[in-house]
Chains A and B, each alone.
Chain A
Amino acid sequence: MPGEPAIEATGLTKSYGSVRVLTGVDLHVPRGSVFSLLGPNGAGKTTTVRILTTLTSPDSGSARVAGHDLVRDRARVRRSISLTGQDTALDELLSGAENLRMMGRLCRLSRGKAAARADELLAQFDLVEAGSRRVGTYSGGMRRRLDLAASLIVPPAVMFLDEPTTGLDPRSRAAMWTVITELTRSGVTIFLTTQYLEEADRLADRIALVDGGRIVAEGTAAQLKQQVSGHRLDLTLTGVAAFDGLAAFLGDRALLPDRDRLTLSVATDGSAGHVRALLDELDPARTAVARFAVHTATLDDVFLALTGHTTTAKEPAVV
């Protein structure tokens, strides 16, 4: 058991009607790690989470979560996980404390233990004052914190966080990141989905890029960034003629050409020598390049390189 990964999935597929949402997802998540599924809306992130949390059955493929088979041992899986979805899954007409006590009772804690646990969690998530207020009056950030607290009544072996910060303002998002970072110290395995590169970069040990229902790349943030050249030289040219001349000269080497803005990029290792040599090679007469900048690869570049499009959002999308 101890050596067994927290999540092990092979060949998960799922279709809704003629729409193939997952086309074969394999996952391997070691215990105690933070694993992030990163991808745009509609990539299949939520479906993957729903399958791994037993809410949806896969059409084919198999998976073990916390050492239990998803299909054969559904009840055991359910008792080993917690799920925080995109919606705030709480009763608005109940207070924060009442919601937590109810969840505690459903986790089969005694009345007294449920109340004590609710108080502890309210304190841990900085909701003591709000605890007696109805959830309907909470801000978005407070709801997410309470939602997270509700999924920790009985510490789970694996926590699923489905887009935990989508729709939050930057400050609440930063606060959620702090909370999640603290959770990782407790040794719980966290399976996180997000459409924000920065979020995956900051929180996750390993990241899987998902697009069109399959995983297109997986690794640490650093490994993924190495898949595209580490750095990029961004050039702004002096005119359309210069742009066209250079684009023709570079051919396939030209990255992200934009004729309207007169910009294009080339790969570089980022060293002064290489940048100097590149500029001499591309612009021997020193008339074509107006400005340049050296750009360090982001996950967005990786995504673009692998899928041909960017993740939809760096800033919160309207949900």
Chain B
Amino acid sequence: MSDLALRPASPLGDLGVMVRRATTLTIRNGDALLTSLALPIMLMLLFVYLFGGAINTGTEYVTYVVPGVIMLCASFGASLTAVAVTNDMTNGIMDRFRSMDVSGASVLGGHVAASTARNLVSTVLVLGVAFLIGFRPSASVVDWLAAVGLLLAAILALSWASAAVGLLAKTPEAASGFTFFVMFLPYPSSAFVPVETMPTWIHGFADNQPFTPMIESLRGFLLGTPVGNSPWIALAWCVGILVVSVLVTGRLFKRRTA
């Protein structure tokens, strides 16, 4: 009894346990892990070898497409967070954690951290394979750091957004529908073909959706070309998505557990 009363609240300690939990679950969820690691590579090979020959971007196509594939891979990987969160909400474990005075934020934080780690691994894999098939970045150390920083910001923002979707979805199946939507979003952007080659009515969307400045910045950083103000727009998107997602998850969490 006495150690019960003395037990101090420890949000950071809880977060540590939750990060470890989510990471272990990710590693053991073989199918999902394999998909999230293999899919981006398959997509890259598909674009480079099957479509790439017919696409004229003014550069070697692999060079053009790698930043897009990296973003696609980040968004898909992050979106899997939704499924993990919905699982926790529906199978009763969230109730148990809450009744143990573990905050919902640390449970979600664990999933977001695991998602970030998983995405970094898959990004490294994509870059490795890209290098093997002829991708030659010409980035300085500073460029690399900027690219990694922006990528981290994007993954973090998308993962929290996915956590919000996970709270919203009633079943894990519904949550996995979200991954499809997020995977589709990079297509109408400059990820795979230049926006100018698309019909004019779609330019407005493609130029102004969040993936375009993210991809343009990555491309600029990796290839050492001018980036203009893309990184700032991309960062603003990331911060905006992150702030809204954190607020929304807070609200949703209260409502789902009312």
Contact = CB atoms under 8 A, between A and B. Distances in A.
A79 B257 contact: no
B95 A89 contact: yes
A150 interface: yes
Interface in B1-49: 1, 3-5, 7-10, 13-14, 17, 20-21, 24-25, 28-29
Contact of B96 (A50, A56, A85, A108): A85
Nearest to B106: A106
Interface in B31-84: none
B100 to A, nearest CB: 5
Contacts of B20: 102
Contacts of B13: 105, 108
B99 interface: yes
Contacts of A82: 99-100
A83 B25 CA distance: 23
Nearest to B94: A89
Interface stretch (A90-98, A204-212, A261-269): A90-98
B101 A79 contact: yes
B204 interface: no
A57 B258 contact: yes
Given A86-B92, A108-B10, A79 B5 contact: yes
Interface residues of A, number: 37
A234 to B, nearest CB: 43
A94 B1 CA distance: 29
A150 to B, nearest CB: 7
Contact of A88 (B9, B92, B258): B92
A150 B100 CA distance: 11
B3 A154 contact: yes
Contacts of A53: 99
B75 to A, nearest CB: 24
Tell me the interface secondary structure of chain A in the complex: loop
A94 B9 CA distance: 25
A75 interface: yes
B257 to A, nearest CB: 6
Contacts of A88: 91-92
- Specify which of A75, A76, A108 lies most central, judged by the most chain B CB atoms within 10 Å of its CB: A108
Contact of B7 (A79, A81, A151): A79
A56 B25 contact: no
Contacts of B93: 89-91
B100 A89 contact: no
A85 B3 contact: no
Nearest to A92: B91
B4 A154 contact: yes
A87 B91 contact: yes
B102 interface: yes
B97 interface: yes
A94 B17 CA distance: 13
Contacts of B9: 75
Given A79-B5, A107-B7, A91 B96 contact: no
Nearest to B21: A102
Contacts of B98: 54-55, 78
A157 interface: yes
A172 interface: no
Question: Which residue, of A88, A89, A98, has the highest number of chain B Cβ atoms within 10 A?
Answer: A89
A103 B92 contact: no
A83 B96 contact: yes
Contacts of A236: none
A191 B91 CA distance: 22
Contacts of B7: 79, 107-108, 154
A93 B25 contact: yes
A2 to B, nearest CB: 12
A220 interface: no
A89 B8 contact: no
A166 interface: no
B92 A93 contact: no
Contacts of A54: 98-99
B92 A79 contact: no
A34 B92 CA distance: 24
Nearest to A98: B24
Q: Return the 7 tightest CB-CB contacts between A and B, nearest first.
A: A87-B92, A89-B96, A78-B101, A89-B92, A93-B28, A83-B99, A89-B93
17 contacts: A53-B99, A56-B257, A79-B4, A83-B95, A85-B95, A93-B29, A94-B24, A94-B25, A102-B21, A105-B13, A106-B17, A106-B97, A107-B7, A107-B100, A150-B96, A154-B3, A154-B7
